[in-house]
Amino acid sequence: MEMKLERLMKSMFRLVFRLVLLMAGLVFLASLMAFGLVLLALWLVRALFARLTGRPVTPWAFKVNRHAQWSRFYQATGRGNPAQASSDVIDAEVKEVKETQSDKFLER
């Protein structure tokens, strides 16, 4: 009797959990659809206003200044001056590399 009750509780919990996840997904989908409809309505009002005032209907677009993006990386290295970039170099001691067993195996 106890096993049946435990199995019933597990199956009920799974069902409730799946229903909660389904409802969360549907709410998320509905919010995306509502946002899209609001955005569409705003664009249509903007296009209607442009037509009524005699202006051309222009699409919404993101303007990207690519030169500003590239110049940010070039300025970070000291404006391309190699003398400034090499000022961070520290002297290192040279050590001889000895041949190992794996090197001999790779030569075969």
Cα separation of 89 and 81, whole Å? 15
SS (H, E, C) 43-97: HHHHHHHHHHHCCCCCCCCCCCCHHHHHHHHHHHCCCCCHHHHHHHCCCCCCCCC
- For residue 100, what pLDDT is reported? 74
> pLDDT tens, 13-44?
999 999 999 999 999 999 999 999 999 999 99
Domain edges within the chain:
2-80
> pLDDT tens, 56-87?
888 878 787 777 777 777 665 555 455 555 56
- For residue 18, what pLDDT is reported? 97
Quick one: pLDDT band at residue 88, thresholds 50, 70, 90? low
